């Protein structure tokens, strides 16, 4: 099955952002993953709105925004208007996630839920009919370069097993996506992988070589 490979732009070289976007697209990136961090929902800050705006307006592939932030419902309009691809909200921080997801569905963006490692499958099951994409966090959100949390595999299996019943959402993995993880999970039917330091950035090979190797897995 064709994998969706999505470089995590928080790992990119912000001193050469235009070139990074060009090189990554030329290397075959299917979309970009833009992490928004508010220092409250996650203990980190990351890209600012101006960075997200810049990447969205310079990219020719979809740009998904991963809102690691409280009260996402107040800001989804902003990202939909920017022209973002999938807008991922964390239901852990939105008591009215169905209302927020409907807001995204009514916009031109795709509705996504991002699920922390400690969040159970059963607690998000009610939302799955409204999610077009599900982003499974396989690390604690907020930082690159962390270790894969194997206990999340069980939740991935549950999502795969129930996917058709809930309308066929796509499953993406975010965190420590190494070539080994990508090979193992794409064989099980997981479509999308957020590429950070485990598979793409900070390596001594050019992006196009790394991405074509990942395609062949």
Residue 151: name the closest of 163, 160, 140, 143 by CA. 140
Which one, 102 or 146, has the nearer CB to ligand DX5?
A: 146
* Pair 36, 46: CB distance under 8 Å: yes
Stretch that binds ligand DX5, among 96-104, 150-158, 159-167, 169-177 (CB under 6 A): 169-177
From residue 85, alpha-carbon distances to 41, 80, 145, 190 in Å are 22, 8, 25, 19
Q: Does 66 bind Zn ion (CB under 5 A)?
A: yes
Locate 192 and state its tokens: 């999308």
- Asked if 33 and 7 count as a contact pair (C-beta separation under 8 A), the reply is yes
The yes or no reply on residue 35 touching Zn ion (CB under 5 A) is yes
70's tokens: 């409280």
Could you give the angle at the alpha carbon of 29 between the alpha carbons of 188 and 48, nearest 5°?
110
CB nearer to ligand DX5: pick between 106 and 209:
209
176 binding partner (options Zn ion, ligand DX5, none; Cβ < 5 to 8 Å by kind)? ligand DX5
Residue 7 interacting partner from Zn ion, ligand DX5, none (CB closer than 5 to 8 Å by kind): none
With CB under 6 A as the contact rule, the residue among 7, 72, 141, 192 that binds ligand DX5 is: 141
Residue ranges in contact with ligand DX5 by CB under 6 A: 8, 10-11, 35, 66, 139, 141-142, 144-146, 174-177, 194, 196-198
């Amino acid at each position: 099955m064709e994998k969706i490979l999505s470089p995590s732009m928080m790992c990119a070289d912000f001193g050469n952002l235009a070139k990074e976007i060009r090189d990554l697209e030329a290397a075959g990136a299917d979309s970009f993953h833009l992490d928004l961090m508010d220092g409250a929902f996650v203990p980190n800050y990351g890209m600012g709105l101006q960075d997200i705006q810049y990447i969205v307006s310079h990219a020719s592939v979809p740009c998904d925004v991963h809102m690691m932030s409280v009260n996402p419902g107040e800001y989804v309009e902003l990202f939909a208007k920017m022209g973002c691809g999938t807008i991922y909200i964390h239901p852990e921080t939105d008591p009215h996630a169905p209302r927020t997801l409907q807001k995204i569905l009514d916009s031109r963006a795709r509705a996504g839920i991002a699920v922390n490692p400690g969040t159970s499958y059963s607690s998000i099951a009610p939302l799955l009919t409204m999610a077009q994409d599900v982003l499974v966090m396989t690390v604690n959100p907020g930082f690159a370069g962390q270790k894969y949390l194997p206990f999340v595999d069980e939740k991935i299996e549950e999502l795969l097993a129930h996917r058709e019943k809930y309308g066929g959402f796509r499953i993406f993995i975010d965190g420590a996506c190494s070539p080994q993880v990508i090979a193992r999970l794409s064989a099980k039917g997981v479509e999308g992988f957020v590429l950070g330091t485990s598979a793409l950035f900070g390596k001594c090979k050019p992006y196009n070589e790394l991405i074509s190797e990942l395609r062949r897995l």
